[in-house]
Amino acid sequence: MQLLFSYLLAFIGLFLWIWGTTPLITHKGHLLYKLHTLTVSDTVGSIIILLSFIVRAPNKWPIFLIAIFSLAIWNTVFGYLLGSLSDKK
């Protein structure tokens, strides 16, 4: 059951990766909307994939927790930086 739950979390994370990437290819909308969708879905998808690793190897949870925290902070700062740089003309 634990293995099945781990695979389910990994599948959800991969789905979010693909879902966030498709607007870059298919839509002709605003670039900032595309980048926002990409960064948010990639961050959440990556965190869910790391959670699936925690389910699979619970004895290594401190390493994965540090990776989740670093990923969340870095992607938030990077998204803010992109937004503030794109606002300048």
Contact status, residue 37 vs residue 48, Cβ threshold 8 Å: no
pLDDT tens readout for residues 50-67: 999 999 999 999 999 999
- Tens-digit pLDDT profile for residues 64-84: 999 999 999 998 888 778 777
pLDDT for 89 beyond 60 = no
Q: At 52, give phi and psi (nearest 5°).
A: -65, -30
Q: Map out the domains of the chain as residue ranges.
A: 2-87
Q: How confident is the model at residue 87 (pLDDT cuts 50, 70, 90)?
A: low
C-alpha Rg value of the chain to the nearest Å: 15
75, 87, 25, 70 alpha-carbon torsion, rounded to 10°: 0
CA distance 67 to 65: 5
pLDDT confidence of 6, banded at 50, 70, 90?
Answer: very high
